[in-house]
Amino acid sequence: MPERPNLLFIFTDQQRADTMACYGNSLIRTPNLDGLSGQSFVFENAYVSAPICSPSRSTIMTGLWPHTSGVLKNNYPLPESTPVVAEMLPADYVSGYYGKWHLGNEVVKQRGFDRWVSIEDQYRDYYRAGEYASVFSDHYHFLMGHGYEPDRDFEGAKVFSRHLAAQVKEEHTKAMFLAERAAEFILTYRQRPWALYVNIFEPHPPYTGPFDDLYDPASIPLPPTFLKPPPHNAALMHRLIQRHSDEEDLPAAAWNEDGWRRLIARYWGLVTLVDKAVGRILEALDESGAADNTVVAFTSEHGDQLGEHNIYQKSAFYEQSVKVPLLMRVPWLGLEHRMIPGRWSHVDLVPTLLDLIGADLPGHLQGRSRAGVLAGVDTLDGHDAILDWNGRDRSRHPLGLEVDRIQNAPHRGLISSDGWKINLSIGDQCELYDLNSDPYEEFNLFEDPSHRARVLDMTERLRAWQRRTGDTVPLPEISALP
């Protein structure tokens, strides 16, 4: 192990696990991610803490569960008292955060990071300090410098809508803008130990970009749950959100197979754009001479249903929303492709990455280092992944109070090491799925008497996790008989 390894952490927004060859999809063109996976540990089943932006990224940045970090729902700011990974690095490291933040003030350097590059002007109504209303993102100024004109009136200012910001030239997209800025960081600090976090916005909606026509919609394979509603006995949360449509991002005309195929093709195009950005960053890492001295991690903050179970976007406990890619290249542990079986949770990212670069692990972290798994002295056997859902958003749901109530009701989920998933909530239908025989989660077995012992055991494991982590959300009382 080098004396002072660097850390390059790249994560995307809304990228499913099955968008890369190492996860079974060889149809999307991702040569750079394929090359990275060929030299990396690839986690077979990596799970987010919650299938929505702010709570999930709070776990990525803090090593805490959402109910502990204080980021309970989307657009909640991260409390100042909750430390992030930059504040846990050794004092001689220079650190950078580049990309979407979505944990409070977007456009200002903060939370222990030495360098900051922003790309978002869509969260101005959530800024905690009024003076930032007159500050715009670095990508805003970049687009202005290249002759683009903002097209959206928002919170007293003219900003670039996400549609316009996505339909610019390839080299002006958020992804490539970040890639060039990240390359500059890597080359500038080649003589110092560094940690750089890059959050690429794509393939998040509005599902459009420079490669909209790269993939033929008619050739896209469709899974058995495509446009098929959740089972009749699925959680009410899942049955309600499958009716949701967002007229701004997905016009009503797209709610048919042809429209969805076009949307998925554009989503795939955005994944290819992500790959190009990753390639540029890795090229700079090679040019800096620090590739052998750098831990590289790649993941996403949550997935996307893409029409499976007839659901648009995320906020569901289905695998398409909660399971994401996770690659880790650690040169001193070898440079060959190795699959890591078992269930991984994002709460373990901060302690694992700190451990890999030789940093001390703060005692308050709720995740644990899995560096031993990479070194071959430990496994993920027996490890359960947990889902910590406390609600979708602090704003009212456009479909009314019933949808608002159920989507903002706490739910807890557990994916067991042997491939079973349980979803529990007071006031909602609970769920049990066997991911081994039912990978698309079409058959809710929660009320099946033959699985009662399993339900009781998994519920108790969730309660034990609650006791360990200080989670006070009540779970339903479950009797030995259904």
pLDDT of residue 394: 62
Q: How confident is the model at residue 397 (pLDDT cuts 50, 70, 90)?
A: low
> In the predicted model, what is the mean pLDDT of residues 41-67?
97
Q: How confident is the model at residue 1 (pLDDT cuts 50, 70, 90)?
A: confident
> In the predicted model, what is the mean pLDDT of residues 471-481?
86
Look at residue 282 and tell me whether its pLDDT is greater than 80. Answer: yes
Nearest to 461 by CA among 427, 421, 433: 421
In this structure, of 10-14, 150-154, 300-304, the range with the lowest mean pLDDT score is 150-154
Sheet containing 420-424: order of strands: 385-389, 411-415, 420-424, 431-434
CA–CA–CA angle 161, 394, 254 (5° rounding): 45
In this structure, of 33-42, 129-138, 435-444, the range with the lowest mean pLDDT score is 129-138
Q: Please determine, looking at this structure, whether the domain spanning 6-378 carries the CATH number 3.40.720.10.
A: yes
Domain map of the chain by residue range? 6-378
Q: What is the mean pLDDT of the chain?
A: 92
Look at residue 245 and tell me whether its pLDDT is greater than 60. Answer: no
pLDDT of residue 158: 92
Look at residue 253 and tell me whether its pLDDT is greater than 50. Answer: no
pLDDT of residue 254: 56
Buried b (16+ CB within 10 A) or exposed e, 336-372: eeeebebbbbbbbbbbbbbbbbebebeeebbbbbbbe
pLDDT of residue 247: 38
Q: How confident is the model at residue 482 (pLDDT cuts 50, 70, 90)?
A: low
pLDDT of residue 311: 87
Q: How confident is the model at residue 355 (pLDDT cuts 50, 70, 90)?
A: very high
Q: What is the DSSP string of 145-204?
A: HTT----EEETTEEE--HHHHHSS-GGGSHHHHHHHHHHHHHHHTTTS-EEEEEEE-TTS
Tokens for 240, please give them: 């309600």
> In the predicted model, what is the mean pLDDT of residues 417-439?
95
pLDDT of residue 312: 84
> In the predicted model, what is the mean pLDDT of residues 278-306?
97
pLDDT of residue 400: 58
> In the predicted model, what is the mean pLDDT of residues 393-421?
80
% of the chain at pLDDT higher than 90: 81
Query: What span, in angstroms and rounded, lies between the C-alpha atoms of 184 and 471?
Result: 42
The CA-atom distances, in angstroms, between 470 and each of 51, 69, 423, 457, 463 are 21, 11, 19, 20, 10
pLDDT of residue 248: 39
Query: What span, in angstroms and rounded, lies between the C-alpha atoms of 446 and 466?
Result: 21
